[in-house]
Amino acid sequence: MNKPMTKALVSCPKSPTDTPLCRRDYLWLLISSCLSLPAISQDGSVQESSLALSLRAKPWSSEGITLDFPPLADTGNAVPLQMHIQAPQGLKLTQIEIILPENPNPVALTLQWPTPQDQVKFQTRLRLAASQSVWVIGKYTDGSQRARSAATIITSTACLDGT
């Protein structure tokens, strides 16, 4: 005489004071943790955004631009950036852009001067969403552009809310 096998169904706890997690909770934790990770390629490197790839693909000259940017930062909330831009002989600087390609709003700062400048020394703090290269692009009176980038690794992100 064969008895039908019965399985005990385990249900999720009904009240918030119940501490055991059910399978749905584990699945939700797994999915949410995977979605919060950056895209990692098969070789283990983090994939860059299309903006970062297009900036890196341009044949920029970085002559006259120096950046002081930490290669490692504990948090992306306020990463210090110091720059010094010296215009080439016969040209003057008309505009500076700071671009953070991995941030939700990638153009962090645009500075324009009513009278072009020979050199600019500037320092600020940037809010970074992830580890990335920060780009400083200088535009000159003849319409040419020069750029330099500096990479940093962030151990704790700052821009998860889209700001």
79 located within any domain: yes
Burial of 1 (0-12, 13-18, 19+ CB in 10 A): exposed
- Tokens describing residue 44: 């283990």
Q: Is residue 105 part of a domain?
A: yes
Q: What is the average pLDDT value for the chain, to the nearest integer? A: 79
Answer whether residue 67 is part of any domain: yes
- What is the number of structural domains in the chain? 1
Is a pLDDT exceeding 80 seen at residue 100? yes
Say if residue 144's pLDDT is above 80: yes
Q: Is residue 38 part of a domain?
A: no
Q: Which residues contact 88 (CB under 8 A, 6 or more apart)?
A: 63, 64, 140
With pLDDT > 70 as the criterion, what percentage of the chain qualifies?
A: 67
pLDDT recorded at residue 88: 93
Residue numbers of the domain that contains 101: 50-154
The rounded distance, in Å, linking the Cα atoms of 4 and 22 is: 26
CATH number at residue 64: 2.60.40.2470
Tell whether 129 is covered by a domain. Answer: yes
For range 106-120, the mean pLDDT = 94
What's the mean pLDDT in 87-102?
94
Residue 159 in any domain: the answer is no
The structure's pTM equals: 0.67
The answer to whether residue 130 is domain-embedded is yes
Question: Which pLDDT score, from 0 to 100, does residue 50 have?
Answer: 85
| Phi, psi (deg, nearest 5) at residue 146 | -135, 150
Within-domain flag for 71? yes
C-alpha 151/C-alpha 154 separation (Å) is 10
Backbone angles phi, psi at 11, to 5 degrees: -110, 160
